[in-house]
């Protein structure tokens, strides 16, 4: 523990510097949330100066403690700490709070130095930290030795009343307690104020008892008493078998004469007059903005020196550890470098069965082959591995007492599963996958959006991808879900038509390191498709390709995905007999297709040629692919409970119906 902050005078001066930097930045921007930084400055100061291990000059140091500001609206608290601690933040960055192109956006964003994760929607940071904690446990068990532990850091965070109201935090807290993640220490800013007013309006539970029941270690403290804060963190560090929640009772807007303990200080600047009154109340220079006392600068510089010495000590020991344990050192490099095997594509293509099978089954074979040759691939499902085929059969499951496995049982917690995946990705050394039925992607959407926003290499495996789920009925039959996923910027969505396409989708997902991917896979068996001889693997990788060429000039282009590609190929044969020359395009991924240049797109879907979209899902989003006449043979209503063959017939997804619908439409186009 670093004792640099023992002076009460320098501590008070430093805490008020943090408060007033936040207040001044928010006032200058005329936008922001001053209450939380003012209320949590004491807890943050003690944590950052006495406990948190970091090196501002090496912000990505592997064994740094992770700090997550889950209450991301209080971002100026974090920016003030980063600036004072010596990270690559300038006073101009502080003054540019919430402005275009600044390092200090309204909520913390991953990618800036010292920002471990993007936090905005409450609860996301809390759950993401659980993923980081799981990652740390795995790496510690894998690499720590008797004489030296290269992995022995903690996941610290500040969470709020709002965080703990969100369902994703509850799910993640349950996972953390179940796994005994003693490397988590969260400080709960219990100020009892939200935007609408007192938390008593909607939040009267006993949080301590709730987290005790989850299996957490809980402590109640005065969040402005530095000795209590310090003692609580020390106690939490000594509790290694349970995650810790330090419940800190604080005053939102601490120091503001008129606004302390009120909802008005939560999300609005204090106002010029109240800023003056607050400075006077805190014995701060009323005529100075962004004022940093020289003693505070000197103090934080001294803290930085101590942090760097601790870092250098670790580097020295780590260097010796590498020499003493060359095999572990090689494995360490493999995990962090994540070099892609040159023959990955070939290996995955060779792993899939030739006989007809559901694409979820093909995916299961692929996952297991990939896990054999890519040791950083970890994952599981939301209690659906037998159905989603995502269990790694040659590896154990992670448990409270053993983190050497590769299978993660997330339980029926889809939202937390996704946020935990985000944490594992952010930690480094892992490519996580998570799976469930496509219809439950709705439960995951906020965290999927965060993965796309942060450009994380998460892989989402969604099975039971259409109304052809069958007898479970409309509650389990996805209709609008693929369109909703396609609407997330930065997420690459795939719906492969057979085992070959499935293998190539997985290849993309495993090799593209700055993009999450979603694979939508069938429950029912489908044939391995016959492709024109001219079709190459590279064609398929471009998102949309011609799987069946017309004989002369196309009269119509059938564009289909997934199980409907085979249907469209059969229909094209029938249309040909009727004198209609049909081209068939397998649209593996609209996202990849749109990434191609316009010349390529128009080579696939020529100008002026009528287009028919065949997909057992919502038509939303399809009209973007062409300005040609377009017919959508899609699913724009909920399904019904019946065997999938019956549903195909009733909803028109049959060879005969598609042929008839296309023929009728083309005739009417000419009229």
Query: Residues 1-16: pLDDT tens digits?
Result: 444 445 899 999 999 9
Residue 120 has a pLDDT of: 87
In percent, how much of the chain has pLDDT > 70?
99
Of 527, 526, 523, nearest to 470 (Cα)?
A: 523
Residue 332 included in any domain: no
C-beta separation of 539 from 583 below 8 A: no
Q: Are 614 and 651 members of one domain?
A: yes
Average pLDDT over residues 102-106: 97
Give pairs for 633-640: CB < 8 Å, separation 24+. Answer: 633/658, 633/661, 635/466, 635/467, 635/479, 636/479, 637/479, 638/474, 638/477, 638/479, 639/467, 639/473, 639/474, 639/477, 639/479, 640/473, 640/474
Average pLDDT over residues 314-324: 98
Average pLDDT over residues 299-312: 98
Residue 339 included in any domain: no
Average pLDDT over residues 146-155: 97
More confident residue, 6 or 128: 128
Q: Are 607 and 494 members of one domain?
A: no
Query: Which is it for the CA torsion 2, 7, 8, 14, positive or negative?
Result: negative
What total number of domains does the chain contain? 3
Residue 371 has a pLDDT of: 98
Residue 316 included in any domain: no
Average pLDDT over residues 270-289: 97
Residue 381 has pLDDT above 80, yes or no: yes
Give the integer Cα–Cα distance in Å for 194 and 262: 9
Average pLDDT over residues 448-464: 98
Quickly state the pLDDT bin for 65 (edges 50, 70, 90).
very high
Give the integer Cα–Cα distance in Å for 443 and 485: 12
Q: Are 302 and 408 members of one domain?
A: no
Residue 361 included in any domain: yes
Give how far Cα 359 sits from Cα of 30, 124, 414, 492, Å.
53, 31, 22, 18
Average pLDDT over residues 332-351: 96
Average pLDDT over residues 390-404: 98
Q: Are 507 and 598 members of one domain?
A: no
Query: Residues 473-482: pLDDT tens digits?
Result: 999 999 999 9
Residue 360 has pLDDT above 70, yes or no: yes
Q: Are 247 and 396 members of one domain?
A: no
DSSP per-residue codes, 303-318: HHHHHHHHHHHHHHHH
Q: Are 421 and 282 members of one domain?
A: no
Query: Residues 582-613: pLDDT tens digits?
Result: 999 999 999 999 999 999 999 999 999 999 99
Residue 2 included in any domain: no
Give how far Cα 587 sits from Cα of 345, 494, 531, 557, 576, Å.
20, 9, 14, 12, 21
Average pLDDT over residues 31-57: 98
Residue 532 has a pLDDT of: 86
Give pairs for 340-343: CB < 8 Å, separation 24+. Answer: 340/374, 340/510, 340/511, 341/373, 341/374
Quickly state the pLDDT bin for 77 (edges 50, 70, 90).
very high
Q: Are 75 and 180 members of one domain?
A: yes
Q: Are 265 and 121 members of one domain?
A: yes
Give the integer Cα–Cα distance in Å for 566 and 569: 5
Give the integer Cα–Cα distance in Å for 445 and 470: 24
Give the integer Cα–Cα distance in Å for 297 and 283: 18
Contacts of 330 (CB under 8 A, 6+ apart): none
Residue 671 has pLDDT above 90, yes or no: no
Among the candidates 520, 553, 572, a domain finishes at 520
Residue 617 has pLDDT above 60, yes or no: yes
Tell me which residue range forms the domain holding 369: 344-520
Residue 177 has a pLDDT of: 98
Catalytic residues: 414
Q: Are 288 and 351 members of one domain?
A: no
Residue 124 has pLDDT above 90, yes or no: yes
Distance of CA 151 to the CA centre of its chain: 23
Residue 556 included in any domain: yes
C-beta separation of 77 from 83 below 8 A: no
Q: Are 38 and 183 members of one domain?
A: yes
CATH of residue 40: 3.40.50.970
DSSP per-residue codes, 409-433: E--S-HHHHHHHHHHHHHHSS-EEE
CATH of residue 642: 3.40.50.920
587, HSE (Cβ side, Cα atoms, 13 Å): 26
Average pLDDT over residues 552-572: 97
Average pLDDT over residues 187-195: 97
Residue 533 has a pLDDT of: 87
Residue 527 has a pLDDT of: 93
Residue 637 included in any domain: yes
Q: Are 516 and 544 members of one domain?
A: no
C-beta separation of 429 from 336 below 8 A: yes
Residue 670 has a pLDDT of: 79
Residue 496 included in any domain: yes
Among the candidates 289, 309, 329, a domain finishes at 309
Angle ∠(273,266,128) on CA atoms, nearest 5: 145
Residue 511 has pLDDT above 70, yes or no: yes
Q: Are 259 and 396 members of one domain?
A: no
């Amino acid at each position: 523990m670093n004792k640099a902050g023992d002076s009460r005078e320098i501590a008070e001066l430093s805490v008020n510097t943090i408060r007033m930097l936040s207040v001044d930045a928010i006032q200058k921007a005329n936008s922001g949330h001053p209450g939380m930084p003012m209320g949590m400055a004491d807890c943050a100061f003690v944590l950052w100066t006495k406990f948190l291990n970091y090196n501002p000059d090496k912000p990505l140091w592997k064994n740094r403690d992770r700090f997550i500001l889950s209450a991301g609206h209080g971002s100026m608290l974090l920016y003030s700490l980063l600036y004072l601690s010596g990270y690559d933040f300038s006073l101009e960055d502080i003054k540019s709070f919430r402005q275009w192109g600044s390092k200090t956006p309204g909520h913390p964003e991953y990618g800036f130095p010292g920002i471990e994760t993007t936090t905005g929607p409450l609860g996301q940071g809390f759950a993401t930290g659980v993923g980081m904690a799981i990652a740390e446990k795995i790496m510690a068990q894998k690499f720590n030795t008797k004489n030296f532990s290269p992995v022995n850091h903690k996941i610290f965070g500040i969470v709020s009343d709002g965080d703990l109201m969100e369902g994703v935090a509850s799910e993640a807290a349950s996972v953390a307690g179940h796994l005994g993640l003693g490397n988590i220490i969260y400080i709960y800013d219990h100020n009892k104020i939200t935007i609408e007013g007192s938390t008593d309006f909607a939040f009267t539970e006993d949080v301590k008892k709730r987290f005790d029941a989850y299996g957490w270690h809980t402590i109640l403290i005065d969040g402005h008493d530095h000795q209590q804060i310090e003692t609580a963190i020390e106690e939490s560090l000594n509790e290694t078998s349970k995650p810790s929640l330090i419940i800190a009772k604080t005053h939102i807007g601490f120091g503001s004469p008129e606004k302390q303990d009120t909802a008005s200080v939560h999300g609005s600047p204090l106002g010029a007059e109240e800023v003056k009154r607050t400075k006077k109340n805190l014995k701060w220079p009323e005529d100075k903005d962004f004022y940093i006392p020289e003693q505070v600068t000197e103090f934080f510089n001294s803290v930085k020196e101590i942090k760097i010495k601790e870092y250098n000590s670790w580097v020295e020991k780590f260097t010796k550890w590498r020499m003493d344990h060359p095999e572990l050192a090689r494995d360490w490099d493999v995990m962090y470098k994540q070099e892609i095997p040159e023959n990955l594509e070939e290996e995955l293509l060779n792993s899939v069965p030739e006989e007809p099978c559901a694409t979820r089954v093909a995916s299961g074979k692929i996952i297991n082959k990939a896990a054999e040759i890519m040791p950083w691939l970890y994952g599981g499902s939301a209690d659906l591995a037998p159905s989603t085929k995502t269990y790694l059969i040659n590896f154990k499951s992670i448990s409270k007492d053993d983190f050497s496995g590769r299978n993660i049982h997330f339980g029926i917690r889809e939202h937390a599963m996704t946020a935990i995946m985000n944490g594992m990705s952010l930690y480094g050394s892992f490519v996580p996958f998570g799976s469930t039925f496509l219809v439950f992607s709705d439960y995951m959407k906020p965290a999927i959006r965060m993965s796309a926003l942060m450009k994380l290499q998460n892989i989402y495996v969604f099975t039971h991808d259409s109304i052809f789920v069958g007898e479970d009925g409309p509650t389990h039959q996805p209709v609008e879900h693929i369109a909703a996923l396609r609407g997330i910027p930065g997420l690459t969505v795939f719906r492969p038509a057979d085992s070959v396409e499935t293998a190539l989708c997985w290849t993309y997902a495993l090799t593209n390191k700055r993009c999450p991917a979603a694979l939508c896979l069938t429950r029912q068996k489908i044939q391995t498709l016959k492709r024109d001889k001219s079709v190459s693997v590279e064609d398929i990788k471009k998102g949309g390709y011609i799987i069946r060429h017309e004989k002369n000039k196309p009269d119509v282009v059938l564009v289909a995905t997934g199980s409907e590609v085979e249907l469209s190929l059969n229909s094209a044969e029938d249309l040909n007999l009727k004198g209609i020359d049909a081209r068939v395009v397998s649209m593996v991924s609209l996202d990849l297709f749109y990434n191609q240049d316009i010349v390529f797109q128009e080579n696939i879907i020529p100008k002026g040629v009528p287009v028919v979209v065949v997909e057992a899902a919502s038509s939303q989003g399809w009209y973007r692919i062409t300005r040609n006449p377009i017919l959508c043979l899609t699913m724009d209503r909920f399904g019904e409970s019946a065997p999938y063959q019956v549903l195909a017939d009733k909803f028109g997804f049959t060879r005969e119906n598609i042929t008839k619908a296309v023929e009728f439409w083309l005739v009417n186009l000419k009229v």
